[in-house]
Amino acid sequence: MIQLVLDLDPNRVKLGFADSVQTRLAQHRTSAPAAKMLKWWPCKQSWERTVMDALAAVSGKLILNEVFEFSDVAAVIERADQLFALLPDPGTGVPVSDRSPFREGEGAV
């Protein structure tokens, strides 16, 4: 969650997935030098659209692509904290059942 133009519009926030939050912030700073990382959470890339939709439901209005205008940024951060608290650690996998075909043979996962 990056605040793009703090001095112009502190409610304008970029949501999205990044492999490296520091690299992504540096990329945004090439066009928005005052961009500020508000917060980040461990996440799977496959969750990105769902998380953005859930957070946009908290007073969000889409500006363009992954940039939103929120009337209450603190409330969005609070909702994101709640949402990510419910999600599993993205680094852990789902256990495979003994009945799963993935268990057959040498290449079991």
In tens, the pLDDT along 44-70 reads 999 999 999 999 999 999 999 999 999
DSSP state for residue 104 in the 8-state scheme: S
pLDDT of residue 105: 60
Specify the number of domains making up the chain: 1
Within a domain: 109:
no
Residue 60's SS3 state is: strand
Across all residues in the chain, what is the average pLDDT? 92
pLDDT of residue 109: 47
Write out the residue range of the structural domain in which residue 81 sits: 2-103
Within a domain: 83:
yes
Evaluate whether 68 touches 60 at the Cβ level (below 8 Å). yes
Within a domain: 53:
yes
Q: Which amino acid is at 55?
A: L
Residues written for the chain? 109
The helix (run of H) or strand (run of E) holding residue 64 is strand 60-64
Within a domain: 108:
no
